Structure 1
Amino acid sequence: MSAATAAAPRPAPASGRQARRGGHPLAGTYPLLRFALRRDRVRLPVWIGALTLTTVGTLSSFTTQYPDAADRRAAAGTMDSPAGLAMTGPGHYLDDYGHGAMMGHQMLGFVLVMVGLMSVLTVTRHTRTEEETGRAELVRAAAVGRHAQLTAALCAAALANAALGLLLAVGLGASGAEGVTWGGSLLYGAAHTAVGLVFAAVAGITAQVSQFSRGASGMALAAIGAAYALRAAGDVGNATLSWLSPIGWAQRTYVYVDDRWWPLLPALALAAAATAAAYRLSTGRDVGAGLRATRPGRPAASRALTQPLGFAVRLHRGTATGFGAGLLLLGVMYGSILGDAAEMVEDIPELRDALREIGGASVTESFASTVMIVLAVVAAVYVVMAALRPQSEETSGRAEPLLATGLSRTRWAGTHLAVAMAGGTALLALSGLGFGAAGAAATGDGGLFLDLLLAPLAYAPALWVTVGVTAVLFGWLPRATAAAWALPVYAFVVGYLGTVLGFPDWTGDLSPFGYVPRLPAEEMRWTPVVALTALAAALVAFGLAGFRRRDLDTK
C-alpha cells in the first residue's frame, strides 16, 4: 500500500478527565468569565464609578444643605405627603431624619433602579446578544458546557454588584456624616448587591424567553419598572404591595434607622430561584432560539417597510414606545410634587439660593426648570441608543445585504439618525405633557400647563447635538462609540447635581445642555437654540461623510 493511500493515524483518545471536563455543563465558564470582564473593562467601571460618585456626592450635598436637626425635620415635613413618599420611600425614615436616613429614604430606591439597569444590560449583553450575533454558536462548538455562557454572564454581573456594594459601604462609612455608621453603610452596600443579583437573574430568564436581545432587555426593564411602581404604591397606600417588590425589600431594611438585615433574605432567595429557573429554561430551547415563538409577519411587506425610513421606524418602535411610557410617567410623578416645591425648600437656605440663581418668578418655576434637565437626560439616553442602532445593524451583519443593493450608505444611516432625532423630540413632548398636566393639577394653576408642556422642547437641539456627536463617533471612530454615553452622564451630573453642589459656571459650558435656556424660569433665547441646531446638522453631515469613507464591519 502506497503512502498516499495509507490510512491516516487515529488521534489519541481523550483521557477520562478531559472527556468529563468537555461534557460538563459548566465547562469553559472561567475563560468565558474572563473574556466577559475584559470586554466590559470600561463599561462596568464607568457604571460602578458613576453610581458610587453620585451616591457619595449626594451625601455630601445633604450635609451641606441640612446641617442642623431643625433643617432635617423641616425637610421630613415636606416629604410626608403621598406624592413625596411615592417619589422617595416609606415614611418610617422620617421619624429620625438624620443624614443616613435621608440617604435611605431619598437615594436608595433611585440608585437601585440604576443597579437593576446595569445588571440587566450586562447579562443580556453576554447571553442573548451573543446568540443573536451568532458568536455563541461558534463558542458552543468548542469544549464549552451548555450553562457556561449564562453562568459567566451572571458571575460578571454578580462581581460588578459586589464591587459596587463594597465601594458604597466604604465611601459612605468613611464620610463621617452624622448618623452614617459603618454598620449601616455595610447594609446600604449589601442592599444594592442583593437587588442587583435579583435583576441579573431576571435578565437570565428573559434571555431564554425572547429570541432577540432588545426583547429580553425590554422584558427585564419592565420588571424593574413594575418593582418600582409596586414600591411607590405600597409606600403611599397598601404596604403589602411594597413587599412584592425587591426594591421595597431593600428600603424596608430601614438602613441607618433600624439596620434590619433580614429583608434582604427574600431578595437572595428570589435571586437563587430565578437563577435556577433560568438554567432550567435554557435546557428547553435551541441555541439562538427563544422559548417564545416569533410572531410570523405578513406574507408581503407594507409599502412603508420597503422604504429605508419606514423600516428604520419599525426597528426603533419598541424602544421609543418604552421610553415614551417611562418619560410620561416620570413627568407625572415630578408634576405631582410641584405644588409642594415651595414648602420643600422654604427652610433650606442652600437649596433656596441655588434655585434663586436659576431665576424665575417663583420657586415653582425654578424647581420646574431643574426637573427639565432630568427629563432631557432620560431622552438623551434614548437618542444615544437610537443613534447607535446603525452600528448594531452593521456589526451583526444585517447592514451589508441592504447596502449591497442600490441603497446608499448616507440614506441608510441618515434615516436611523433622523428617527433618533425625531423620536427624542417626541419623548420631550410626552414628558412635558405628563409634567404639565400633573403640575397644573397639583398647583391649581391651569396656565402652568402650556408652559410646562413646551419647556422640555427647548432641549431638542441639545438632543440633536448628542445624535451628531454619536454619528461622528460611528462614522470616524466606530470602536470608540461608547464615549457617546459621556454626554447624558455629564449633563446629569453638571446640570442637576451641579446646581446643588455648587459647580463652577464654566462646567455647564462643556455640555450642549448647558446652553439651553432653562424654561420656564428664564426667558426664551433663540440664539443658542439656532446655534445648537446648526452644530447638530454639521456634526451629522461630518459623521455621515466618515461612514461613507470607511470600510464596513463585515461578517
Structure 2
Amino acid sequence: MSAFTGTARLTRLALRRDRVKLLVWALAVPGVTVAVAQSVAGLYGTEADRIGYATTSAASVVARAFNGPVSGPSLGSVVTAESYTMLALLAALLSTFAVVRHTRQNEETGRAELLGSAVVGRHAPLTAALLVTVAANLLSGALLALALVAVDLPVAGSFALGAAIAGIGVAFAAVAAVTAQLSGTARGANGMAAAFVGLAFLLRAAGDAWGTVTADGMRVVSAWPSWLSPFGWANQVKAFDGNRWPVLALTVGFALLAVGGAFVLTAHRDLGSGVLAVRRGPATAARGLLRPSGLAWRLQRGVVLGWTVGVVVMGLSMGSVGDEVDDLVGENEAASELIAQLGGSDRLIDAFLGTMMAMFALAVAGFAVQAVLRLRSEEAAGTLEGVLATAVSRPRWLLGHLLWAALGTVVLLALAGASTGVGYGLVSGDVLGETARLTVAGLVQAPAALVLAGLVVLLFGLLPRLSVALSWSVFLLCVLLGQLGALLELPQPVLNLSPFTHLPAVPAADPSGTPLVVLLAVAVALTGLGLAGFRRRDLSIG
C-alpha cells in the first residue's frame, strides 16, 4: 500500500460532501463579476470616463492600496480594478476553508480515524482535499473567463484574469494544507491561514501604495513588497494590459513548495495532533467559566478580537479617503449619481460615508452569522451534550452565546463608525464631531444585522443540519442585494427582502426610529421562535 492509496475514493467523498457548496462557489464568482462588468460599462462607457478613472485611481494612494494597481484605461482594466479585491479574497478564504474542512476538521471530529481503519494511505486525505479545491478553483476561473468573454471583453484578458484568480485560490489552498498540519484544531488552522491571507493582502497593498505612477499617469509600477504576496503576483499578470502569463509560474512554484512541505509535515506527526504543541491550560478554571455566558465568551473572544482589529483598520482607511471622493468620482456624473443613490444624499461626501456604513453593516452581519453558528458547531461536535448534562438549561446556554453575538455586533458597528469618523475627522479638521456623528451612523445599522442573527437562531432551532448552508446563503443574498441591487436596478419588492434595505441612510439622512424598532422586533421574534424550536427538538450530532 502506498501513501496515496484511497485518494480517488476520498476525492469522490469530498465532492459528494461539498457538491452544493462547490456549485455555488463556481457559479457565484463569475455571476457577481458579470454584474460588476455590466455596471462598470454603464458608469464608464466612454474612453474619456475610463481615462479619468485610471488617472485619478493611479494618483490615489488609498485607491491603489485597496483596489490594486491600475492597468490602463480599457474597460477590462476598470472591471479588474473594481472586482479584483472581492474576487481575490473570496478565492483565498473559500480555498483555505475547503482544505481545512477535509483535513484537520475530519481529524478533530474523528472521521479521519474511522477512514484510516480502512485501506487509506497517509497522504490520501490531504491529496483528496487539494484535488477537490484546485479543481474548484480551476472551474471557477474558467467560468469567470467565459462569462467575461460573453460580455464582450477581450478573450486573452478574460482568461488571464480567470487564471490569476484561480491561482490565488490554489496558492492559499497550499497554505491551508500547511496550517492544517501545524494546528491541532480546525479553528486554529483556519485562524493561521486567515492571518496569512491578511499578511499577503497587506504586503500587496503596501507594494501598490508605494508604487510609482508611469509617465502617462494611467498605470502603476508596484514596489517590491507586492512581489512577496500571491495577491501581488495575480495583479502583476496585468490582465487586459499585457497579459503577462509567465508571472503565474510564481504562484505554481509557491503552491508546489507549500504542498511539498505539508506532505513532509504529515509524515512526521501523529493522527489527530498538530506539529505545534497545544499549550497547557491552568489547573483550575476561572470562575467565569462556570457560567454559560462566561464559557461562550471564552469561545467567542478570539473571533471578536480579530473582527475588531479588521473593522478599526478598515474604518480608519475608508474615513481617511473621504477628502479624495470628489477627486475620484466628482467629474464622472454617472458614478456620482450612483454613490448618491446608494448613500441617499446629493452631498457626495455624506453619500460616500453612508455607503461605507452600509458596507460595514453587511460585513459585521457576517460576524453575527459566524458567532451564532457557533451554536451549531458546539452541537455537531458533541460538546453541547456535556454542558446540558449539568444544571444548565437549553435556553440559558443558547442565550449565553447570543449575548456575545449581539453585543459583539453592536460594538463592532460602533467601532466601525467611530474609526471612520476619526479617519475622516483627521483630514477634515473635526475629529470629535465626525467621530460622534459616524458612531451614531454605525449604531443605526445594528438592527438589520441583528435580524440576520435572529434568522440564524431560527434556522438552528428548526433545521439544525441545514442551518450553516442556509444561513450563509441568506447572508450572501443580502450582500448581493445590497451591493448590486441598485446597480442592476432590481425592483423594490426584491430589494425589500434584505433587512438592510429598510435602514435610514445615515449620515446622509436623519435616523428614523420606526424602521429600527420594527427591525428589532423582528429580530426578537425570530430569536424567540428559534429558541422554542431548539427546546422541542432532539440534539443533532455531526
- Aligned-pair CA distance for 1:330: 1.7
Distance 1:224 1:507 in 2: 34
1:376 aligned partner? 361
| Distance verdict in 2 for CA 1:77–1:448, change over 3 Å | farther
- Aligned-pair CA distance for 1:445: 4.1
1:530 aligned partner? 517
Deviation string for 1:26-53 (max 9, x for gaps)? Answer: 1111111111111111112222322211
Q: Is 1:127–2:114 an aligned residue pair?
A: no
- Aligned pairs for 1:345-360 (under 5 A) are 345-357=329-341, 358-360=343-345
- Aligned pairs for 1:12-31 (under 5 A) are 23-31=1-9
1:493 aligned partner? 480
Confirm or deny: 8 A CA contact 2:413 2:443 kept in the other structure: yes
The counterpart of 1:309, out of the listed 288, 293, 297, is 293
Q: Is 1:515–2:502 an aligned residue pair?
A: yes
2:387 aligned partner? 402
2:461 aligned partner? 475
1:192 aligned partner? 165
- Aligned-pair CA distance for 1:126: 0.7
AA in 1 matched with 2:470: A
1:182 aligned partner? 155
Confirm or deny: 8 A CA contact 2:340 2:352 kept in the other structure: no
3-state SS of paired residue (2:350): helix
- Aligned-pair CA distance for 1:554: 4.3
Distance 1:550 1:528 in 2: 33
Q: Is 1:61–2:34 an aligned residue pair?
A: no
Confirm or deny: 8 A CA contact 1:242 1:248 kept in the other structure: yes
2:67 aligned partner? 88
Confirm or deny: 8 A CA contact 1:109 1:251 kept in the other structure: no
Distance 1:401 1:449 in 2: 45
Q: Is 1:98–2:70 an aligned residue pair?
A: no
Distance 1:231 1:110 in 2: 14
Q: Is 1:35–2:13 an aligned residue pair?
A: yes
- Aligned-pair CA distance for 1:184: 1.0
The counterpart of 1:456, out of the listed 442, 452, 464, is 442
TM-score by length of 2: 0.95
Q: Is 1:412–2:412 an aligned residue pair?
A: no
Q: Is 1:545–2:521 an aligned residue pair?
A: no
3-state SS of paired residue (2:245): coil
- Aligned-pair CA distance for 1:458: 1.1
Deviation string for 1:525-544 (max 9, x for gaps)? Answer: 11111111111111111101
The counterpart of 1:241, out of the listed 225, 228, 244, is 225
- Aligned-pair CA distance for 1:263: 1.2
The counterpart of 1:423, out of the listed 395, 405, 408, is 408
Confirm or deny: 8 A CA contact 1:63 1:99 kept in the other structure: yes
Confirm or deny: 8 A CA contact 2:36 2:82 kept in the other structure: no
Q: Is 1:341–2:341 an aligned residue pair?
A: no
AA in 1 matched with 2:94: M
Distance 1:483 1:466 in 2: 12
Deviation string for 1:136-158 (max 9, x for gaps)? Answer: 11111111111111111111110
Q: Is 1:504–2:480 an aligned residue pair?
A: no
- Aligned-pair CA distance for 1:124: 0.7
2:270 aligned partner? 286
AA in 2 matched with 1:484: S
AA in 1 matched with 2:281: G
Confirm or deny: 8 A CA contact 2:464 2:540 kept in the other structure: no
Distance 1:390 1:146 in 2: 33
Return 259-268 or 439-448, whichever deviates more.
Answer: 439-448
2:243 aligned partner? 259
AA in 1 matched with 2:20: V
The counterpart of 1:166, out of the listed 142, 145, 162, is 142
1:70 aligned partner? 48
Deviation string for 1:433-470 (max 9, x for gaps)? Answer: 32111122233443322222221211111111111111
3-state SS of paired residue (2:506): coil
Return 360-369 or 188-197, whichever deviates more.
Answer: 360-369
Confirm or deny: 8 A CA contact 1:373 1:496 kept in the other structure: no
AA in 2 matched with 1:499: A
- Aligned-pair CA distance for 1:208: 0.6
AA in 2 matched with 1:492: V
Q: Is 1:113–2:62 an aligned residue pair?
A: no
Confirm or deny: 8 A CA contact 1:312 1:419 kept in the other structure: yes
Distance 1:554 1:82 in 2: 50
Return 360-369 or 207-216, whichever deviates more.
Answer: 360-369
- Aligned-pair CA distance for 1:361: 5.6
Confirm or deny: 8 A CA contact 2:419 2:435 kept in the other structure: no
Confirm or deny: 8 A CA contact 2:465 2:540 kept in the other structure: no
AA in 2 matched with 1:186: F
Confirm or deny: 8 A CA contact 2:100 2:180 kept in the other structure: yes
1:11 aligned partner? none
1:19 aligned partner? none
Distance 1:354 1:523 in 2: 20
**Larger-Rg structure:** 1
Q: Give unpaired runs (5+ residues) of structure 1.
A: 1-22
2:216 aligned partner? none
AA in 1 matched with 2:25: W
The counterpart of 1:391, out of the listed 346, 369, 376, is 376
Distance 2:146 2:66 in 1: 27
Superposition RMSD in Å: 1.4
Distance 1:444 1:309 in 2: 42
Confirm or deny: 8 A CA contact 1:476 1:547 kept in the other structure: yes
Confirm or deny: 8 A CA contact 1:351 1:500 kept in the other structure: no
Overall identity of the aligned pairs, in %:
40
Return 46-55 or 539-548, whichever deviates more.
Answer: 46-55
Q: Give unpaired runs (5+ residues) of structure 2.
A: 212-222
Q: Is 1:202–2:187 an aligned residue pair?
A: no
- Aligned-pair CA distance for 1:344: 2.2
Confirm or deny: 8 A CA contact 1:370 1:496 kept in the other structure: no
Confirm or deny: 8 A CA contact 1:209 1:291 kept in the other structure: yes
1:16 aligned partner? none
Q: Is 1:274–2:258 an aligned residue pair?
A: yes
Distance 1:50 1:436 in 2: 34
| Distance verdict in 2 for CA 1:501–1:340, change over 3 Å | farther
Return 494-503 or 390-399, whichever deviates more.
Answer: 494-503
1:325 aligned partner? 309
Deviation string for 1:293-332 (max 9, x for gaps)? Answer: 1111111101101110000000011111112211222222
- Aligned-pair CA distance for 1:76: 2.0
Deviation string for 1:484-542 (max 9, x for gaps)? Answer: 11332222222222233322222221011111111111110111111111111111111
Confirm or deny: 8 A CA contact 1:181 1:256 kept in the other structure: yes
Return 501-510 or 25-34, whichever deviates more.
Answer: 501-510
Distance 1:27 1:278 in 2: 17
